[in-house]
Structure 1
Amino acid sequence: MSLYPARAVVDLGAIRANARTLCRIADGAAVMAVVKADAYGHGLVPVARAAVEGGATWLGAAQLTEALALREAGIDARVLTWLYAPGAPLELAVAADIDLAVAARWALDEVAQAARATGRTARVHLKVDTGLGRNGLTPAELPPVLDAAARLQEQGVLRVVGIFSHLAFADTPGHPTSARQLALLHDCVAVARSRGVEPELRHLAASAATLTAPELHLDLVRPGLALYGVSPVPQVGDPAHFGLVPAMTVEAELATVKRLPAGHGMSYAHHYVTSTDTTVGVVPLGYGDGIPRHASGKDGAPGAPVGVSGRALTIAGRVCMDQFMVDLGPQATEVAGDTVVLFGRGGPSAEDWARAADTISYEIVTRLGARVPRVYIDSEKGDA
């Protein structure tokens, strides 16, 4: 019995099925299941295992701590990690056979130092900024780094496994910037080959491009959000359109149910006032659990949707740190302990919440707080 009156139910069968679907869509390209940020809030190690069982041969983790946790859990898929600062303990990654991204000259030097310290050949992926303007070597910075990498390869210190980049407009299928970034990545690979660096892998596509742009698949794709059964391009299609199954359901038990008269304010600053005698319920989740305060109902406008007894209702009034309110209606029969579905099976979607909070579905699933227990089921093994 959980002490917490809410939970995130994660279906590992859905993760496994989504990985299989993405492998099929990738059509020959290797699949890196991106499990950064605690697998987008779904749970790093359980999700990583399910993704590998579904056919992913690579795992992607932004932070070194995440990559090391995968190894400590005994997961032996290839792992790439890409976000670290000077002085990071890269020798731990090299010793654990974790691939490291190199996005600056200092990073190449520190990877080489770590390789020499461990006596192992480091595996690196050169990150090139082809237009996102974020992390990565600019095309002008690339040639001297390639020359240094070629020398280190000759010495057996490291091996350049891949050259990769990240799209700026992938969620706008057909945007001309994506074609320009692809062309620039090809140019960078040609420069690498001319300097004696022959990468095994070129990779550019994350979830959106994996689903909508086969010309961007190259040798490996890096789906993140799609692995969790959420569409990165809702304007193109919902998860079912792409053959994906949402993996997370967030639900809570009503903590309090009571009657309030017409004209009664609910929650701070009374942004919501009852229009008639009604029944209200307290849901014991709030912004301390990652529920967006921007999902509050305000000035008569409804807040984010929830599912209650098969009915579609909305947040009434301001989301608090630990709780929010729902107007259950004059004829409500719910009692304390009944289940409210925030999103997932039996309720609205993460995309519905994103629209209500003026954000993206990535943030809705990823920001769910650590104090909300994750409960794992497996629909492919008969779990409900």
Structure 2
Amino acid sequence: MTETAHPRTATLRARAEIDLAALRANVRTLRARASGAALMAVVKSDAYGHGAVPCARAAVAAGATWLGTATPEEALALRAAGIGPPVRILCWLWTPGGPWREAVEADLDVSVSALWALAEVREAARAAGRPARVQLKADTGLGRNGCQPADWPELVGEALRAEAEGLIRITGLWSHFACADEPGHPSIAAQLDCFRTVVADAEAAGVRPEVRHIANSPATLTLPESHFDLVRTGIAVYGVSPSPELGTPADFGLRPVMTLSAALALVKHLPGGHGVSYGHHFVTAGETTVGLVPVGYADGIPRHASGTGPVLVGGKWRTVAGRIAMDQFVVDLGGDLPEAGAEAVLFGPGDRGEPTAEDWAQAAGTIAYEIVTRIGKRVPRVYVNEEPNGREG
């Protein structure tokens, strides 16, 4: 669980400020994009690094009726935090021997892609003395989790038998896109066609699901024909574009939720020809000043952004000088002399001219999802713009 600190009183080495008003606004924007469908806010991986419980509460306050997690442990933690029905929670990444009974007793929706999982959830339902809420997942082309179309009739048939026994309720039919973030990719139409087919086949066999869903964040934003009964929005909830090719957050009416900053630990002069950080991959061209930013790859700052990562200090963009180390890195200040303790903003919404998570993704050769998700537990999350009752924190 991430730490929290009060923004007005805590003096912090570094902080990830989480704007819950921005998150609520993003959820409302996404709901408007898919006005005919319910909205699931995906809060897996500690809400993509933003803090699962506060973000889940904020999303529900803004109208999300479903929450999504990868692991059952993540889902059970939400229930333990008091997020109960009528909010539905779907968890989809199961391995044999998982906490099926606990999931059934917590009234979670569990995803089933194979007969072994169906067998385990049936036994859990017997032990719990109540039916399990089961969603059947089809592999429509991603080639990852999900049941292949050739095996779908058998899985559906066994699930219907379990439902007739009173052991499960088939609450959903779902799948996941492979290339929804690549506009015009031929797999998108092919997966939609396959999904419509497997849904029709299941319903013809007698399945009456509460929800049918395939749309992730990019599909929610760009493919209205994919919305069905429910859309699953993950990275877009946090105001990050799922793909630069699709548009910026502002293009979709979204606002980044996380601002990552640190206090300069040291500012000093260096002569020309002086090596900086491990390996001396950066050598000063002439006399300059440098600032020490007290975060590193142990805090989730990507080492691949050594020499390229952007930071705003004193209203100017600076660049990481040399290698990013475990706990710290250096920026070249070009002769400027901010005081120790001055703010260094690594990324945020961009309102003040600061870099964004996408800028760091470009610098590190990765995606913005990874930038926000990897920010570690040593960086406290500071929640701002909570609801007046304070229940989000």
TM exceeds 0.5?
yes
Shift of 1:194: 2.4
Deviates more, 1:152-161 or 1:28-37: 152-161
Shift of 1:49: 0.2
Shift of 1:141: 1.2
Deviates more, 1:244-253 or 1:173-182: 173-182
Q: Which runs of 4+ in 1 moved over 4 A?
A: 1-4
AA aligned opposite 1:149: A
- Secondary structure at the aligned position of 1:47 is classed as helix
Alignment pair present for 1:351 and 2:358: yes
1:28 paired residue number: 36
**Among candidates 325, 337, 344, match of residue 341 of structure 2:** 337
Shift of 1:325: 0.4
AA aligned opposite 1:343: F
Alignment pair present for 1:365 and 2:372: yes
Query: For residues 109-128 of structure 1, what are the structure 2 equivalents within 5 Å?
Result: 109-128=119-138
**Among candidates 89, 92, 95, match of residue 102 of structure 2:** 92
1:277 paired residue number: 287
1:177 paired residue number: 187
Say if 1:343 and 1:95 are closer, same or farther in 2 by CA, change over 3 A.
same
Alignment pair present for 1:13 and 2:21: yes
TM-score, normalising length: structure 2: 0.94
AA aligned opposite 1:134: R
CA distance in 1, matches of 2:122, 2:246: 44
CA distance in 2, matches of 1:123, 1:379: 32
AA aligned opposite 1:245: R
CA distance in 1, matches of 2:65, 2:381: 25
Instruction: Check whether the contact 1:250–1:342 (CA below 8 A) recurs between aligned residues.
Output: yes
Instruction: Check whether the contact 1:259–1:280 (CA below 8 A) recurs between aligned residues.
Output: yes
- Secondary structure at the aligned position of 2:243 is classed as coil
CA distance in 2, matches of 1:232, 1:136: 22
**Among candidates 61, 64, 67, match of residue 56 of structure 1:** 64
**Among candidates 236, 251, 265, match of residue 246 of structure 2:** 236
CA distance in 2, matches of 1:218, 1:138: 21
1:300 paired residue number: none
Alignment pair present for 1:307 and 2:315: no
Counting aligned pairs with the same residue, the percent is 60
Instruction: Check whether the contact 1:173–1:209 (CA below 8 A) recurs between aligned residues.
Output: no
Alignment pair present for 1:321 and 2:326: yes
CA distance in 2, matches of 1:194, 1:338: 65
1:201 paired residue number: 211
Q: Deviations over 1:73-124 (max 9, x none)?
A: 1112100000010001210010000000001110011111111111111111
Q: Deviations over 1:296-321 (max 9, x none)?
A: 01xxxxx1111112111111110000
Shift of 1:333: 2.4
Shift of 1:380: 7.4
Alignment pair present for 1:157 and 2:161: no
Instruction: Check whether the contact 2:12–2:263 (CA below 8 A) recurs between aligned residues.
Output: no
Q: Deviations over 1:250-292 (max 9, x none)?
A: 0000001100011111101111111111000110000000100
1:188 paired residue number: 198
1:226 paired residue number: 236
CA distance in 2, matches of 1:68, 1:52: 17
CA distance in 1, matches of 2:342, 2:77: 37
Instruction: Check whether the contact 2:181–2:246 (CA below 8 A) recurs between aligned residues.
Output: no
CA distance in 1, matches of 2:89, 2:305: 36
Instruction: Check whether the contact 1:14–1:379 (CA below 8 A) recurs between aligned residues.
Output: no
Instruction: Check whether the contact 2:67–2:88 (CA below 8 A) recurs between aligned residues.
Output: yes
Shift of 1:200: 2.3
AA aligned opposite 2:72: L
Say if 1:380 and 1:117 are closer, same or farther in 2 by CA, change over 3 A.
closer
Deviates more, 1:265-274 or 1:32-41: 265-274
- Secondary structure at the aligned position of 1:132 is classed as coil
- Secondary structure at the aligned position of 1:197 is classed as coil
Instruction: Check whether the contact 1:61–1:79 (CA below 8 A) recurs between aligned residues.
Output: yes
- Secondary structure at the aligned position of 1:315 is classed as strand
Shift of 1:152: 1.1
CA distance in 2, matches of 1:360, 1:278: 33
Shift of 1:27: 1.6
CA distance in 2, matches of 1:101, 1:380: 32
User: Number of matched residues?
Assistant: 376
Q: Deviations over 1:5-30 (max 9, x none)?
A: 00100001111111111110012111
Deviates more, 1:160-169 or 1:189-198: 189-198
1:129 paired residue number: 139
Instruction: Check whether the contact 2:311–2:347 (CA below 8 A) recurs between aligned residues.
Output: yes
TM-score, normalising length: structure 1: 0.96
Alignment pair present for 1:69 and 2:77: yes
